[in-house]
Amino acid sequence: MSGLARVLARQGVHVTGSDLRESPTLEALRREAGIVATAGHQAANVQDAGLVVVSAAVRGGNPEITAAQAAGIPIVSRAEMLGRMMNRYPHSIAVTGTHGKTTTTGMIATMLDIAGLDATVLIGGDLPRLGGNARAGDSGLFLTEACEAYDSFLDLTPALAVITNIEADHLDYYGDLENVLRSFRQFLSQVTETAVLCGDDSNIRRLIAEDRGTPAIVTYGLSSHVCLRACDLALDGMRPSYTVYRHDTRLGAVTLAVPGLHNVLNSLAAVSVGLQLELPWAQIADGLAQFTGTGRRFERLGETASGTLVIDDYAHHPTEIRATLAAARRAHPERRIVAVFQPHLPSRTQDFKRQFAESFGDADFVVLTDIYLAREQPIEGVTGAGLAALTADRRGAEHVAYVADKAQIPARLADMVCPGDLLITLGAGDIRTAAEEFLAREGAAA
């Protein structure tokens, strides 16, 4: 929502907004974009509005929605507003998938910036090169991250789309994987020109097998059957590298500034987009080399005076946790890894509890805390303590701790973290604050 607000304000629209409580996001909107951003939802906030845009997190009974309905003010979802914006641009790109959307969009945005294409961009995380999570460009090119939750991406009809992977998630809405696939199938049918798909993903291959002729399909991955393939992989350390082949033709070498096999795949998607846009290889490779990550994606927060490296990551699905910890292990094999995980949503914790418990294999020690409820209500019997117990059964009790109160985590970590360790916080809630407070408590390295 904040990115959408920034772009609209930059384009001359008078934008106001509100959120449940005060936050750095609201402060930044006021300071940087001149937007009237209010803490708290109340009817008075919409009295002068010509249109009300609502995020998926807002439920019925909200006083602003009620007031808008009473006043006859049109109400649209964020996804519908994003679709309206996209339709104003002759060239549009949407990046979706269960995992890797934000990073892949950030890689493409960096590439476009280096190429001087002045695209309008919306990303699900802050990209330092843009100075935030959005930028209003002056060209006819539009790039956005497209969220698959609650069928949001079905309001979009991009010319070019990326699907990074497909996996069961958001089962509180979809119910099962087949419904997830049905939604992605519909999205794919709405792409007007070309779809860039990860050919290594088994669920995406199911969609490819149903190829109806439109859109045109370009595949990428590590497998021999894809159109665009990464070979000669070197994954150790913070700068993975590989060589790109289009079928049997060598295109060039790529070196990344973000770790992990998952980022190799994300970057291959970005390469595919660059080639579709006919960018010179030098600009494609330079864009990937200069991409240093987005906010909350393996983000380095600092290092303590005793040498503990502190990282924060948005991973909140078992597959994401596994990939992030594998990247941490590859990047820092000499460090002991302490992972602090805040489960996100009772429904997701219930749906994937066994997978969560088995996802911490590359961590030496795991700390779990209570579930971040976000938009949901508690589910009886689904708790952070229960997930911690299940994880302890898999890993051994000596490798797992449960700290119910997140506020107590920084102090407790003092007894769990050793000099030279890698501490990584994981989750889509507010667990980052625990990492920041630990870093402040221990003192940052000079």
Q: How far is CA 178 from CA 147, 174, 196, 246, 272, in A?
A: 18, 8, 21, 32, 27
Question: What is the chain's percent helix, strand, coil content, to nearest 5?
Answer: 40, 25, 40
Q: Listing from the earlier edge strand, what are the strands of the sheet with 132-135?
A: 132-135, 120-127, 141-145, 91-96, 160-163, 194-198, 216-221, 228-234, 241-246, 249-255
- Name the phi and psi angles at 274, rounded to 5: -55, -40
Q: Are 95 and 164 in contact (CB under 8 A)?
A: yes
**How would DSSP label each residue in 73-115?**
--EEEHHHHHHHHHTT-SEEEEEE-SS-HHHHHHHHHHHHHHT
| CA–CA gap between residue 272 and residue 108 (Å, rounded) | 10
Active-site annotation holds for 105: no
Catalytic residue among 96, 98, 102, 349: 102
Catalytic status, residue 102: yes
| 109 and 143 Cβ atoms separated by less than 8 Å | yes
How far, in Å, CA of 283 to CA of 65, rounded? 46
Question: Torsion-angle region of residue 435: left (phi > 0), alpha (psi -120 to 50) or beta?
Answer: alpha
Structure tokens at 394: 């898999």
145 among known catalytic residues: yes
Helix (H) or strand (E) holding 229: strand 228-234
Pairing of strands 241-246, 228-234: antiparallel
Catalytic residue among 145, 299, 303, 320: 145
In one-letter notation, the amino acid at residue 138 is: D
Active site residue: 64, 96, 101, 144, which one? 101
Backbone φ, ψ for residue 121 (5° rounding): -130, 135
The SS3 call for residue 197 is strand
CA nearest neighbour of 372 among 300, 425, 330: 425
Residue with tokens 């002729």: 213
| Cβ-contact 289, 255 below 8 angstroms | yes
The whole-angstrom separation of Cα 168 and Cα 399 is 28
- The catalytic residue positions are 101-102, 145
